[in-house]
Amino acid sequence: TIKVDGKDEESIHLDFLLAYVRDASSIILEGREVSRKSGKILEMVKSLIGLDVIEQSTQTIVVKNFFTLDRETSPPMLLKKMDIVNRASFGLLHSFFQKGFVSEDLSELQKLYDQNARLYILIRKTQLKLLENPALMRSIQTDYLQLFKDKSYAHSFMEISSGLISLGKVFLFLDKDNKEVKELQRYFSLLYTEYQNLLNAIYNYARDDIYTFLKKKQSVEIDKFIKTTHDPLLIQAITALGYILNQQITMAQEALT
């Protein structure tokens, strides 16, 4: 039960998120201010997977948790969904170099980011549930080591999503026909290809391919590229590329442990 009276929006959100991650079967929000704050509360419910409002009055909102842990909602399966979303984001950004980037494209990219944010929170929820109930690990064929690996992967996927949304905001203002942007396209395309190859190698336990990825000096090349321009927008874009690459390196290193 969450008392909403006298609490600001952020405090209610944190209480609600904590109850969700801890997998409460029901979350009851109550108080005289429920009616006034119901809009934001209902937005919170919609932003999380597996929840639905089953009762609402002027002073109470009852949210039911319909989440059940099985193979389809296990961390590895949810991680693959995050990967699919990131690939879609890469693809959407890649179209900038052919047709430009407009506010509608950024809105679509934001939806993809929001989807990964929901999946990320759900993964944290499933991991906590597994740690509290180790017997469930056998049913979805995982163990403690894999749980900690998956936690690292989920964080990197979410950070890659953040890097991609940052790129989208910069692409709104870049001229795709600019000579330096053509060079940016080369680095972006290479990063996109390396992302796909790395994730495929991780899924297939192809250690040699992961080693090959780590031996490449892509970060050095990006550092050189950023020194060739004085355009603030390009510097922001290149910095975002470097950040995404660093997250891929983190995933590769985690895969080898």
Give CB contacts under 8 A, 24+ apart, made by 57-61: 58/34, 59/30, 59/31, 59/32, 59/34, 59/35, 60/28, 60/29, 60/30, 60/34, 61/28, 61/29, 61/30, 61/34
Residues of the chain above pLDDT 90, percent = 85
| CA 108-111-115 angle, 5° bins | 145
Residue 228: per-residue pLDDT: 87
53-90: per-residue pLDDT in tens?
Answer: 999 999 999 999 998 888 888 999 999 999 999 999 99
CB-based contact 164:86 (threshold 8 Å): yes
Residue 150: per-residue pLDDT: 95
Residue 224: per-residue pLDDT: 86
Mean pLDDT of the region 170-184: 92
Mean of pLDDT over the chain:
94
Helix ranges restricted to H, 95-231: 96-99, 103-132, 135-139, 144-171, 179-203, 207-215, 218-226
Residue 21: per-residue pLDDT: 93
Residue 27: per-residue pLDDT: 96
Mean pLDDT of the region 200-205: 95
- Six-digit token pair at 246? 């660093």
CB-based contact 146:219 (threshold 8 Å): no
**Would the pTM count as exceeding 0.85?**
yes
Closest-CA residue to 203 (of 150, 242, 144, 148):
150
* pLDDT confidence tier of residue 121, bands split at 50, 70 and 90: very high
H or E element, residue 51: strand 51-56
Residue 220: per-residue pLDDT: 81
221 or 212, which is more confident: 212
Residue 23: per-residue pLDDT: 92
93 or 135, which is more confident: 93
CB-based contact 201:209 (threshold 8 Å): yes
Q: What does the chain come to in residues?
A: 257
* pLDDT confidence tier of residue 151, bands split at 50, 70 and 90: very high
Number of H helices, E strands in the chain: 11, 4
Q: Using CB atoms within 10 A of its CB, is residue 168 exposed (0-12), middle (13-18) or buried (19+)?
A: buried
* pLDDT confidence tier of residue 218, bands split at 50, 70 and 90: confident
The CA-atom distances, in angstroms, between 179 and each of 93, 97, 126, 231 are 18, 12, 47, 12
